[in-house]
């Protein structure tokens, strides 16, 4: 009777299992399949060989992703700490304010940065007005990284904050008690204790930064192609699905490797914190 | 006596908004003593401890450590260490690293750290636990790690904030003995905070009874028990019958409609006083031989003795006796002069020491029941 | 130190809100410039209301978000209930691992992988344009599912095993005990999952971009095709409206939450 009902409960998950096989596993198999075939379906390694042409793009994507992630971390860590020290009501309000921009289309927010950064944009017209030479900002690598930092900063603040908010304050007192000054408290106590949040923040910023295609098009002006742009073009313009699939496959493996390295760094604490 | 005072609190006052937590508190703590701050929750004992540790700053008054004012010295520069209520062990470090934490901050050479940690772990009976993670330890083991971690940095004073509160009764008793042993072996001042009077009496050299942010009495456990200063102390420490009395002259007091000999003197003639009689100090005799007589209203078996409530002229006394007396029987009470303790009237007079409360509740309930019918 | 941290916080929030403030200001611009403010006007809001395409896209987005989040919640909750029963087994960790895939994968990879599947099936079945509402719905349900499962699963683990046993003890059938006892106790997590799925679906651009066809446009896709050309402030007006409505919703949600937390019998 007991076993029977347990079995029945297990069966409840079978629709999902079917769904996962059809729409999570099967698409992954298709990525692999397309990577190693020609448009007519014959086996080939040409797509993989062709990839070396895109090596600079891959490197640039990774480089931009790392820089954007680091900047996000540098901005988010103090911000999260400051927020976590406020009163409950204030914390709630500030976190709401952090999340609010995430609910707006990132396309429009990115587009709005164009208006700010353009050569004739808001910052430069302000600079001209106060008599300083305008600065060329749009269509530079810096603008692309700024776009990434801007769009993904909340993804860094949220997980770090949620760990810090739960941080037992007596840990910090214990650290002071054992002779730790302010720097010791941050280095030996707050950073290691917020590690789960930092790791998941890094994941949540790095992955979309590396794979983005819209930000680089709008703020980089097409001269800073990232791997996402190349993939997007294969599917929406040149219709070379096979090349696109192999690029995606490499991107996927690349990110998996980065995550594995990352988790190795953080020890066994690297669980996901949403 | 004066020169071996290690910590002095002078005129300390603290308020959280409207709530006055400590009122003009003065306390001297001698080197190497085991002193306990005892009181109900909210009496200001933990606040006092946190002021000594440096986590809080008094609104007024001075904290003096070995003759030097340390008001503005941050916690990490003070030679005192704390055992936190829920231990505050670092979950990201193993047992060894937790104990080594303070030593690493001091940048001690690795070899010395190892020696020190091993020594500390053997003091708290946790040899061989070095690599264990904190979460795999039981409450008692975590407690021991916390002690080892605090002792590793050689504090002159160890502050313990209800350290045994999270442990079960049996373990608590064992740890009490162990803590006392550690304190005597290492010769460190322990400042211990608890609301458990039994714990305070059994471990301390000195007990400080606090209530409402004010020290009610300081003394040895025996003094505190035998010579409580006011009704609060008498009631909080052990069980007491506290009766209104009038001091006729030295060594003679009237209460419950009778005159008694006592050992107290120095009161004004006919001064109103509080009279304390401990439940175990009353002898039960036949009614005709008794100095007081009353009816037994309830009997509870407690193992080592019976606890009986006796109604004497409307005041309910608690008496502990090894003989059984059934409910409703009239008994006589005999009280030796040394069983009577006289206290000056205080703000606490009349608030404690009458054991009618639970029976009264039942009375009220039965009245309500009757009315309902 | 205090003033320093205050200045820092203000700067961070200024950075987060600068582009939003800019677009709200320029949504009231008299001219179509998004750089020079020529004067106050509501013309872009009027233009927005008249624009049938945008309204259609908004309507599509909501339909898609509602249906995909409801399907994902039902499918995901039942999945969580089943997974929970598997205890510690290799099968269980495999399911959880597969569930994590859409969350860990870059969205663009999830998007193109599903597109490849749909296109392949479309060719096999000789369907002219396979991409449309159906494929979008499948894609949205798929990327919503992990969020639902991973919010419900921990709650399910927390619920007292004795609860359902008590219900059985009092004469409930296993099914009745699930609906009467277990379901109500995991309801808050289910609702959280539903809301999360709904907002993710509303906001999604990348996956939709690869799995939608010309016949069915969602709002983010409509916005994307507009930003390809020179943008007009009517898009700014739309964003301003979305911003304000989300702000109002969040404040409302927040005050309800505060109120329910004040009650002593909170979760």
For position C182, what pLDDT does the model report?
Answer: 86
Sign of CA dihedral C20, C21, C22, C26: positive
Residue B299 falls inside a structural domain: yes
Is position B231 within any domain?
A: no
The rounded distance, in Å, linking the Cα atoms of A38 and A241 is 9
- Flag whether pLDDT at B217 surpasses 90: yes
pLDDT at residue C43 is higher than 80:
yes
- CB neighbours of C254 closer than 8 A, spacing ≥ 6? A92, A96
The pLDDT of residue B226 is above 50: yes
- Average pLDDT score over chain C: 87
The mean pLDDT of B48-58, rounded to a whole number, is: 93
With CA atoms as reference, the chain A residue closest to B146 would be A174
Chain A meets chain C (3+ C-beta pairs below 8 A): yes
Task: Identify the bridge partners of residue B331 per DSSP, sorted by sequence position.
Answer: B294
Q: Are residues B218 and B249 in the same domain?
A: no
CA C196/CA C199 separation, integer angstroms: 5
Write down which chains contact chain C via at least 3 CB pairs under 8 A: A
Max intra-chain CA distance, chain C: 74
Closest CB to C114 among A8, A20, A23: A23
Using the predicted structure, report yes or no on whether residue B285 has a pLDDT greater than 50. Answer: yes
Owning domain of residue B8: 2-226
Q: Smallest Cα–Cα separation from C131: which of C217, C8, C230?
A: C217
Residue B267 has pLDDT above 70, yes or no: yes
Chain A: list its partners (3+ Cβ pairs within 8 Å).
B, C
| Total count of residues recorded for chain B | 373
Q: Are residues B201 and B246 in the same domain?
A: no
User: Please, which pLDDT band fits residue B367 given cuts at 50, 70 and 90?
Assistant: very low
Domain end point (choices B195, B226, B257): B226
Residues B33 and B118 in one domain: yes
The closest of A214, A227, A213, A218 to A255, measured between CA atoms, is A227
Q: Give the neighbor-by-neighbor strand order of the sheet with B258-261.
A: B258-261, B252-255, B241-249, B271-277, B340-344
Asked whether residue B290 falls in the same domain as residue B200, the answer is no
Maximum average pLDDT range among A27-31, B170-174, B355-359:
A27-31
How many C-beta atoms surround the C-beta of residue C159 within 10 A? Answer: 16
What's the order of all strands across the beta sheet hosting B206-211? B80-83, B157-161, B189-194, B34-38, B206-211, B214-219
- State which residue of chain B sits closest to A169, comparing Cα positions: B88
The Cα–Cα gap between C232 and C51 comes to: 13
**What is the spatial distance between Cα A108 and Cα C19, in angstroms, rounded to a whole number?**
9
Q: Is the pLDDT of residue B139 over 50?
A: yes
Q: Which 3 state secondary structure label does DSSP give B83?
A: strand
Provide the 10 A C-beta neighbour count for residue C106.
24
Mean pLDDT in residue range C229-257: 83
Task: List per-residue pLDDT tens for chain A, 274 residues long.
Answer: 456 666 777 788 899 999 999 999 999 999 999 999 988 878 888 888 888 889 999 999 999 999 999 999 999 999 999 999 898 888 988 998 998 888 888 888 898 898 899 888 888 888 888 888 888 898 999 999 999 999 999 999 999 999 999 888 889 999 999 998 889 999 999 999 999 899 999 999 999 999 999 899 989 988 899 999 999 999 988 888 999 999 999 999 988 888 888 777 665 443 443 3
Considering the domain architecture, whether residues B108 and B24 belong to the same structural domain is answered as: yes
pLDDT value of position A264: 75
Domain identity same for B166 and B47: yes
In a domain, B234, yes or no: no
pLDDT score of C261: 67
Contact status of A87 with chain B (Cβ, < 8 Å): no
H or E stretch covering C199: helix C183-203
Per-residue model confidence (pLDDT) at position C267: 35
CATH code of the domain covering residue B185 = 3.40.50.300
Closest chain B residue to A182, measured at CA: B76
C235 close contact with A: CB closer than 8 A:
yes
Q: Are residues B193 and B325 in the same domain?
A: no
Asked whether residue B351 is domain-assigned, the answer is: yes
Backbone angles phi, psi at B193, to 5 degrees: -110, 130
Question: Is B92 in contact with A177 (Cβ distance < 8 A)?
Answer: no
Strands B214-219 and B258-261: unpaired
Phi–psi pair at B95, nearest 5 degrees: -60, -50
Same domain, B217 and B359: no
pLDDT digits 0-9 by tens, B173-183:
888 999 999 99
d(CA C43, CA B168): 73
Q: What mean pLDDT, rounded, does chain B reach? A: 89
CA pair distance C146, C77, nearest whole angstrom: 10
Residues of chain C above pLDDT 90, percent = 39
- Number of structural domains (chain B) is 2
Cβ(B261)–Cβ(B295) under 8 Å?
no
Which of A170, A173, A179 is opposite residue B105, by nearest beta carbon?
A179
CB B353 within 8 A of CB B245: no
pLDDT at A272: 40
Tokens standing for C228? 């390809």
- Please give the structure tokens belonging to residue C154: 């921990």
User: What CATH number does the domain containing B263 carry?
Assistant: 2.40.50.140
For position A1, what pLDDT does the model report?
A: 45
C180 and C145 Cβ atoms separated by less than 8 Å:
no
Q: Please give the C-alpha separations between residue A56 and each of A69, A181, A207, in angstroms, as whole numbers.
A: 20, 45, 18
CB contact under 8 A, C35 and A125: yes
| Domains, chain C, with CATH or none | 52-231 (1.10.3720.10)
pLDDT at A5: 64
Q: Give the count of alpha carbons within 13 A of A241, CB side only.
A: 21
What per-residue confidence (pLDDT) applies to A98? Answer: 92
Tokens 């991409």 correspond to what residue? C131
Instruction: Tell me the β-bridge partners of B276.
Output: B242, B341
Can you tell me the mean pLDDT for B334-346?
92
Q: Which of A200, A201, A191, A195 is nearest to A267 (CA)?
A: A195
Looking at residue C32, its pLDDT comes to 81
B73 inside 8 A of chain A by CB:
no
At C265, the pLDDT band (50, 70, 90 cuts) reads very low
A175 in contact with chain B, both atoms CB, cutoff 8 A: yes
Same domain, B52 and B132: yes
Q: What is the pLDDT of residues C165-180, one digit of tens each?
A: 787 778 777 788 888 8
> Which among B226, B261, B286 is the end of a domain?
B226
- Do residues B196 and B126 both lie within one domain? yes
Asked whether residue B290 is assigned to any structural domain, the reply reads yes
Tokens of residue C223, six digits: 């916005």
Q: Do B196 and B250 lie in a common domain?
A: no
| pLDDT > 70? residue B204 | yes
Q: Looking at the complex, does the CB of residue A198 fall below 8 Å from at least one CB of chain B?
A: no
| Set of chain C residues whose Cβ sits within 8 Å of the Cβ of A27 | 110, 113-114, 116-117
Which structural domains are found in chain A, ordered by start? 55-269 (1.10.3720.10)
Task: State the pLDDT at residue A256.
Answer: 86
Which band of pLDDT confidence, cut at 50, 70 and 90, is reported for residue C157? confident
The pLDDT of residue B111: 95
Helices (H), chain C: 2-26, 43-50, 52-85, 90-104, 107-124, 133-158, 161-169, 174-177, 183-203, 206-211, 219-228, 233-262
Residue B27 has pLDDT above 90, yes or no: yes
The nearest CA of chain A is from the CA of C224 a distance in Å of 7
Q: Is B360 part of any domain?
A: yes
Residue B358 has pLDDT above 70, yes or no: no
B and C touch per CB criterion (3+ pairs under 8 A): no
A161 three-class SS: helix
Q: Give this complex's ipTM.
A: 0.87
**Distance between CA atoms of residues A122 and A107, nearest Å:** 19
SS3 A167: coil
Contacts of C73 (CB under 8 A, 6+ apart): C148, C190, C193, C194, C197
CA distance C197 to chain A (A): 13
Q: pTM above the 0.90 mark?
A: no
State the average pLDDT over residues B117-140.
Answer: 91
CB B343 within 8 A of CB B229: yes
Cα dihedral sign for C144, C149, C152, C158? negative
Structure confidence at residue B362 (pLDDT): 42
Instruction: Give pLDDT, residue A4.
Output: 65
Are B209 and B248 found together in one domain?
no
- Round to whole Å and give the CA distance between B17 and A247: 63
> Rounded to whole angstroms, how far apart are CA atoms A226 and B367?
85
CB contact under 8 A, B90 and A192: yes
Q: Note whether A191 contacts B: Cβ–Cβ < 8 A.
A: no
């Amino acid at each position: 009777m007991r076993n029977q009902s347990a079995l029945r409960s297990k069966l409840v998950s079978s629709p999902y299992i079917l769904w996962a096989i059809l729409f999570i596993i099967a698409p992954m198999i298709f990525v692999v399949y397309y990577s190693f075939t020609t448009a007519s379906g014959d086996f080939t390694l040409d797509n993989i060989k062709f990839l070396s042409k895109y090596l600079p793009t891959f490197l640039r994507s990774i480089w931009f992703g790392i820089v954007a992630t680091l900047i996000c971390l540098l901005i988010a860590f103090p911000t999260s700490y400051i927020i976590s020290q406020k009163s409950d009501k204030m914390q709630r309000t500030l976190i709401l304010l952090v999340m609010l921009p995430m609910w707006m289309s990132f396309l429009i927010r990115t587009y709005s940065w164009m208006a700010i950064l353009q050569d004739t944009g808001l910052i430069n017209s302000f600079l001209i007005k106060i008599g300083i030479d305008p600065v060329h900002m749009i269509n530079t690598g810096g603008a692309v990284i700024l776009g990434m930092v801007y769009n993904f900063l909340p993804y860094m603040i949220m997980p770090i904050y949620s760990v810090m908010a739960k941080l037992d304050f007596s840990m910090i007192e214990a650290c002071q008690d054992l002779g730790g000054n302010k720097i010791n408290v941050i280095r030996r106590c707050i950073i290691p204790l917020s590690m789960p949040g930092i790791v998941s923040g890094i994941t949540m910023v790095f992955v979309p930064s590396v794979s983005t295609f819209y930000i680089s098009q709008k703020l980089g002006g097409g001269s800073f192609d990232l791997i996402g742009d190349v993939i997007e073009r294969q599917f929406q313009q040149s219709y070379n699905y096979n090349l696109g699939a192999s690029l995606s496959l490499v991107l996927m493996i690349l990110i998996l490797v980065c995550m594995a390295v990352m988790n190795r760094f953080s020890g066994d604490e690297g669980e996901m914190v949403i | 006596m004066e020169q071996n005072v290690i910590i002095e609190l002078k005129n300390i006052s603290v308020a959280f908004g409207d709530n006055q937590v400590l009122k003009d508190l003065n306390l001297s703590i001698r080197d190497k003593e085991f002193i306990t701050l005892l009181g109900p929750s909210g009496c200001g004992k933990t606040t006092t401890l946190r002021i000594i540790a440096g986590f809080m700053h008094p609104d007024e008054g001075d904290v003096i450590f070995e003759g030097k004012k340390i008001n503005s010295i941050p916690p990490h520069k003070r030679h005192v260490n704390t055992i936190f209520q829920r231990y505050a062990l670092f979950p990201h470090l193993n047992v060894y690293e937790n104990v080594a934490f303070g030593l690493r901050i001091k940048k001690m050479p690795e070899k010395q750290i190892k020696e020190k940690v091993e020594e500390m772990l053997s003091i708290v009976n946790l040899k061989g636990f070095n690599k264990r993670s904190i979460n795999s330890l039981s409450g008692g083991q975590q407690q021991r790690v916390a002690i080892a971690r605090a002792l590793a940095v050689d504090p002159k004073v160890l502050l313990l904030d209800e350290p045994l509160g999270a442990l079960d009764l049996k373990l608590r008793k064992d740890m009490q003995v162990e803590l006392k042993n550690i304190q005597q072996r290492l010769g460190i001042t322990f400042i211990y905070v608890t609301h458990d009077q039994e714990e305070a009496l059994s471990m301390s050299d000195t007990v400080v009874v606090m209530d409402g942010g004010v020290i009610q009495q300081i003394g040895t456990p025996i003094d505190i028990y035998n010579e409580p200063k006011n009704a609060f102390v008498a009631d909080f420490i052990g069980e007491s019958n506290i009766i209104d009395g009038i001091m006729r002259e030295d060594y003679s007091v009237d209460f419950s409609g009778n005159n008694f000999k006592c050992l107290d003197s120095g009161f004004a003639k006919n001064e109103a006083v509080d009279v304390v009689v401990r439940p175990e100090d009353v002898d039960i005799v036949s009614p005709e031989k008794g100095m007081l007589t009353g009816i037994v209203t309830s009997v509870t078996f407690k193992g080592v003795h019976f606890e009986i409530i006796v109604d004497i002229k409307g005041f309910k006394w608690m008496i502990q006796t090894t003989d059984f007396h059934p409910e409703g029987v009239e008994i006589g009470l005999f009280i030796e002069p040394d069983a009577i303790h006289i206290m000056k009237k205080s703000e606490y007079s009349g608030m404690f020491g009458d054991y009618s409360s639970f029976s009264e509740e039942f009375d009220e309930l039965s009245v309500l029941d009757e009315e309902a019918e | 130190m205090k003033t320093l941290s205050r200045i820092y916080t203000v700067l961070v929030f200024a950075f987060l809100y600068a582009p939003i403030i800019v677009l709200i200001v320029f949504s009231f611009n008299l001219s179509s410039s998004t750089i020079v403010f020529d004067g106050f006007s509501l013309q872009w809001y009027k233009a927005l209301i008249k624009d049938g395409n945008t309204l259609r896209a908004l309507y599509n987005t909501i339909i898609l978000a509602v249906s995909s989040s409801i399907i994902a919640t039902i499918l995901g909750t039942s999945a969580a209930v089943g997974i929970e029963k598997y205890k510690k087994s290799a099968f269980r960790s495999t399911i959880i691992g597969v569930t994590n895939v859409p969350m860990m994968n870059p969205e663009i990879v999830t998007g193109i992988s599903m597109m490849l599947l749909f296109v392949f099936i479309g060719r096999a079945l000789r369907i002219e344009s396979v991409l449309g509402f159906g494929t979008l719905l499948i894609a949205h349900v798929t990327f919503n599912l992990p969020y639902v499962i991973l919010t419900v699963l921990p709650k399910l683990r927390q619920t007292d095993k004795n609860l359902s046993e008590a219900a059985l003890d009092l004469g409930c059938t296993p099914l009745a005990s699930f609906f009467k006892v277990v379901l109500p106790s995991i309801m808050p997590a289910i609702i959280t999952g539903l809301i999360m799925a709904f907002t993710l679906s509303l906001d999604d651009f990348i996956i939709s971009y690869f799995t939608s066809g010309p016949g069915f446009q969602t709002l983010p896709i409509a916005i994307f095709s507009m930003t390809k050309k020179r943008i007009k402030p009517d898009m700014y007006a739309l964003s301003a409206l979305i911003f304000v409505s989300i702000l109002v919703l969040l404040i409302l949600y927040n005050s309800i939450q505060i109120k329910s937390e004040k009650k002593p019998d909170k979760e």
